[in-house]
């Protein structure tokens, strides 16, 4: 991945994965689960900005398609471009931590849940 082309976002905003119909390809499933597992580990430890993209794809680990695997690799390309980014918390600033959330109600086309 060191020669991979970096990209600016972890996942395209217009991308919504849908359930895959048909038989499970176990080789594809194993590869996808390994990549998603690694991305989940990175997300929890060092890259919280990929949380939405990774959890969107992680919902489909039971029967992934090749497109899902390609999107997981897309996130890896994003990580290549952001490997020198860092979160810095300065304890002496007395500003605290400010956080925002954005609910995405009923955006999942499969079951209309967020």
Whether 110 maps to a domain, the answer reads no
Higher-confidence position of 36 and 13: 36
Please state the domain count of the chain. Answer: 1
State mean pLDDT over 43-60. 87
* Structural domain includes residue 92: no
Helices (H), the chain: 26-45, 51-58, 66-81
Mean per-residue pLDDT of the chain: 83
Report the C-alpha gap between 53 and 75 in whole angstroms. 8
Is 64 domain-assigned?
A: yes
Q: Does a structural domain hold residue 7?
A: yes
Residue 112 has pLDDT above 70, yes or no: no
CA distances, 65 to each of 13, 26, 30, 53, 78 (Å): 19, 11, 12, 16, 20
Whether the predicted pLDDT of 107 surpasses 90: no
Query: Can you give the pTM of this predicted structure?
Result: 0.76
What is the residue range of 76's domain?
1-85
């Amino acid at each position: 991945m060191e020669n991979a082309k970096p990209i600016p976002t972890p996942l395209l905003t217009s991308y919504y994965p849908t359930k895959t119909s048909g038989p499970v390809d176990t080789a594809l499933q194993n590869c996808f689960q390994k990549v998603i597992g690694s991305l989940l580990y990175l997300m929890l430890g060092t890259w919280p900005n990929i949380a939405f993209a990774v959890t969107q794809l992680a919902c489909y680990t039971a029967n992934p398609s090749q497109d899902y695997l390609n999107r997981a690799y897309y996130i890896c390309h994003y990580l290549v471009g952001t490997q020198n980014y860092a979160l810095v918390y300065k304890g002496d600033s007395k500003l605290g931590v400010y956080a925002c959330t954005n609910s995405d109600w009923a955006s999942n086309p499969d079951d209309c849940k967020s």
